[in-house]
Amino acid sequence: MLFGSKEILKTAVKNYAVMGNYSIKFVKNDKRRITARCTNCTWMLHASYMQLEEMLQIKTFIDKHICVRNPTNPHVNCVYIAQKYIDCIMDESDITNKNLKKAVKRDLGYNVSDSQCSRAKRKAKKIIEGTYMEQYSRLWEYCDEVKAINVGSAMKIRVEPPPHLQRLYVCLNACKKDFLAGCRPIIGVDGCHLKGHFSGQLLAAVGVDVNDNMYPIAYATVELETKETWSWFLELLMDDLGPIKDHGWIFISDQQKGLDKAFDIVVPQAQHRWCIRHMYGNFKEKYKGNGLKNLLWSAARAPNSHNFEVEMNKLK
């Protein structure tokens, strides 16, 4: 068999030892050669680099074990556990030592300690965060690719020294064009926390299509949900969609204070409505009960001003 590097061969030998419960030790490991032996029997593997190629080839292999399998294995350490379960730790970042120990016991048959699991999680998270940082460094390539494939898309990156990514704004041309062509002039805006290895806020603008479904218009990642970040987002959004006087945009949002101030600064002439679900969240703190709740929603669903006044009088 041929291997591209010593690291690949050593990893293969370690996996073989772990999966078979064998006690294998590297007795020779220099620049050109690797020799591994079982400490309890005659199993042996020797590999060296080929003369004309930079590849390792197994030259000697005694593939026969006559020893009793080992219930413990030095290769099952925190480094091995981190590499083996990195996908599991990535999917469940708050996995407990107890659950990780159960996974190792179930999959490999070894008992590991809490300290091994703790160190393995730290190493895995360090690898994962490094991978995310590498991906962040390629954002400029991503933006260039999107603008080349979807011509007319707005991809805005804002950095802060030295530089660190501060904000990213995305408005795909296909979404923008179809929203202007076929959706109502209603724009819902809201923000939420980003849950992951790097914190921040996700701001989004959505419309309503002909089937009463949400239609994505634009989104942005920012450091905080404040008046300044909302103003920045709304300014870029209006640059893409066009001025209020030409389209008569109507905005709907929750009662976030920074957002209200941003509307007054960026689009003071636009109509602004509050989401009834957020209004009811404040309403029910003082006025409880399903009776008042049903009357409030009946008023919100009223199709005309007369029915609205009737429902509001009931509510009063």
Tens-place pLDDT, residues 76-107: 889 889 988 898 888 888 889 999 988 888 88
Reading the block at residue 208, the tokens are 């309503």
Tens-place pLDDT, residues 219-250: 999 999 999 999 999 999 999 999 888 888 99
Reading the block at residue 276, the tokens are 């009834």
59, 48 Cβ separation under 8 angstroms: yes
- pTM: predicted TM-score of the whole model, two decimal places: 0.65
Tens-place pLDDT, residues 14-70: 888 888 888 889 998 888 899 999 888 889 999 999 887 788 899 999 988 888 776
Reading the block at residue 151, the tokens are 């011509």
Map out the domains of the chain as residue ranges: 1-74, 76-137, 152-274
85, exposed or middle or buried, with CB in 10 Å at 0-12, 13-18, 19+? buried
